[in-house]
Amino acid sequence: MSSSPRARLSDDQRRARLARRHLLHPAHRAGSAEEVADALVGLHATDAATVYLSACARLAEPFPAEVERALYEDVTLVKLLSMRRTLFAVTTELAPYVSSSTTRAIALRERATLLKHLRENSEGHAPWDEQRLARTEREVLDALAARGEATTAELGKDVPALRETLLMSPGKPYESRQSIGSRVLRMLASDGHLRRARPRGSWTSSLYPWALVPQIPDIDVREAKAELARRWLAAYGPATEADLKWWTGWTLGDTRKALADVGVEDVELADGATGHVLPGDVPAADEAPGPWAALLPGLDPTAMGWRGRDWYLSPDHVPALFDRAGNVGPTVWWNGRIVGGWAQRADGEIVWRLLADTGREAESAIAAEAARLSAWLGTVRVTPRFRTPLERELAGGVGATGRRKA
């Protein structure tokens, strides 16, 4: 890291960067789903709808078919269990770096955890060990090779072991049974053997079949971490060491090593903290590109991009916009700040509420974005997987479009 006098980047400059680099200003929208995914490093994919909503918010021509093309026809976007043990959709060009830097380590932990649970909690007739798990995995891969693609339930007809269950937390109030099939297939996907194929039903569905994929190439772990850090800083810098550590889920040591390998420049942020940017990425001025509004979905990469969020999110708004686990819900943005939330009601209406006084220009721009979102959604109804207080309230019909907080 550099030892020269540090440049200072204001919050306004950070918000101007966000508008351009996250493709949120209308003049900077993208032409393809791959371009969006690369600009953000990856799209959150835990909720099936998030990939579509995040991509279309940034596409010059927002069509779900464009995202489906990338995911299921050209397969230029793949979903990996990766950063923070979260599912992300990344481009196939970036996938080897994500896999080597984060996914492989997660897969090892997932395998150890699954074996522990299988030994202790499985309710099948035969005991589970490494050999039985490996045999079951081979049978799954053989079945998929014959079928082409299949759901977990369909594979259970070919591989009976998948139909067994795990009894989790026996005797506790939250005792539950989990499908061994879902755990095994999730692990095979983490190992890079499987991908999620086109879902059965609409693009909001989470009922998807599995398909085989070529093994993702291995890259040296240190090289992969450095490349992932470089790409993340290109999209999210300036950012702190704590931001990168949180976003990746790496250890502090690995985070510092990656930053050193990139050769970052240090800058001073508005709150006096030390931020990092790529070498040469400190402009003399970074003017705002002009007014802009956006309606972003729950778990959107921009809203979840940093651990320190005060420069774009008032702490007072967190209880309304986040659930108890720290998942962000649908958000309304104005000139680089989160200023409210939105929801879709059962009749399809897009409703939103401002949590700050932004003025008439903002309300007009936000209404235009709501109309744009409604137009491409058409008859599709979207309910976030992780629901937040404001989203529930709006979706339930409480409050009017554009109503401000009292």
Where do the structural domains in the chain lie, given as residue ranges? Answer: 313-404
Residue 405 has pLDDT above 50, yes or no: no
Helix (H) or strand (E) holding 168: strand 165-168
Closest-CA residue to 307 (of 106, 100, 84): 84
Q: Residue 360 — very low, low, confident or very high, per pLDDT cuts 50/70/90?
A: very high
Lowest mean pLDDT among 84-98, 282-296, 388-402: 388-402
CA 19 to mean position of chain CA atoms: 19
DSSP string, 129-158: -HHHHHHHHHHHHHHHHHHSEE-HHHHHHH
Higher pLDDT, 402 or 356: 356
DSSP string, 295-322: EE-TT-TTTTS-S--TTTS-GGGHHHHB
Query: What predicted TM-score, i.e. pTM, was given to this entire model?
Result: 0.92
Residue 398 has pLDDT above 90, yes or no: no
Among all chains, which residue has been given the structure tokens 């929208």? 29
Higher pLDDT, 174 or 381: 381
- Residues 5 and 222: their CA atoms lie apart, in Å, by 29
Residue 401 has pLDDT above 60, yes or no: no
**Which structure tokens are listed for 14?**
């950070």
Integer angstrom CA distances of residue 135 from 120, 128, 138, 141, 364: 19, 11, 5, 10, 60
- Residues 227 and 282: their CA atoms lie apart, in Å, by 20
Q: Residue 216 — very low, low, confident or very high, per pLDDT cuts 50/70/90?
A: confident
Contact call for residues 161 and 124 (beta carbons, < 8 A)? yes
- Residues 261 and 290: their CA atoms lie apart, in Å, by 35
- Residues 216 and 131: their CA atoms lie apart, in Å, by 24
Residue 63 has pLDDT above 80, yes or no: yes
Closest-CA residue to 166 (of 124, 121, 113, 115): 121
Contact call for residues 249 and 307 (beta carbons, < 8 A)? no
pLDDT at 2: 47
Q: What percent of the chain has pLDDT over 90?
A: 82
Q: Residue 284 — very low, low, confident or very high, per pLDDT cuts 50/70/90?
A: low
- Residues 369 and 135: their CA atoms lie apart, in Å, by 52
- Residues 55 and 103: their CA atoms lie apart, in Å, by 23
Residue 135 has pLDDT above 80, yes or no: yes
Rg (CA), the chain: 22
pLDDT at 286: 62
User: Other C-beta atoms within 10 Å of 222: how many?
Assistant: 14
Contact call for residues 83 and 249 (beta carbons, < 8 A)? yes
DSSP label of 27: G
Q: Residue 399 — very low, low, confident or very high, per pLDDT cuts 50/70/90?
A: very low
Residue 7 has pLDDT above 80, yes or no: yes
Residue 5 has pLDDT above 70, yes or no: no
Residue 282 has pLDDT above 50, yes or no: yes
Q: Residue 403 — very low, low, confident or very high, per pLDDT cuts 50/70/90?
A: very low
pLDDT tens string 227-262: 999 999 999 999 999 999 999 999 999 999 999 999
DSSP string, 169-214: STTSTT-EEEEHHHHHHHHHHHTTSEEE-SPSSSTT-----EEE-P
Q: What percent of the chain has pLDDT over 70?
A: 95
Q: What is the mean pLDDT of residues 148-163?
A: 95
pLDDT at 252: 98
pLDDT at 173: 82
Q: What is the mean pLDDT of residues 365-375?
A: 97
Contacts of 108 (CB under 8 A, 6+ apart): none
Lowest mean pLDDT among 218-227, 298-307, 397-406: 397-406
pLDDT at 119: 86
Q: Residue 167 — very low, low, confident or very high, per pLDDT cuts 50/70/90?
A: confident
**What's the mean per-residue pLDDT of the chain?**
92
pLDDT at 220: 97
Contact call for residues 257 and 93 (beta carbons, < 8 A)? no
Q: What is the mean pLDDT of residues 36-44?
A: 98
pLDDT at 404: 37
Q: Residue 28 — very low, low, confident or very high, per pLDDT cuts 50/70/90?
A: very high
Question: In 237-306, which ranges are continuous DSSP H helix?
Answer: 241-248, 252-262
Bridge partners, residue 350, by sequence: 344
DSSP label of 264: P
**Which structure tokens are listed for 259?**
């930053």
CA-angle at 299, arms to 294 and 302, nearest 5°: 50
Contact call for residues 193 and 213 (beta carbons, < 8 A)? yes
Contacts of 230 (CB under 8 A, 6+ apart): 262, 278
pLDDT tens string 293-341: 999 999 999 999 999 999 999 999 999 999 999 999 999 999 999 999 9
Most confident listed range (106-120, 227-241, 274-288): 227-241
Residue 44 has pLDDT above 70, yes or no: yes
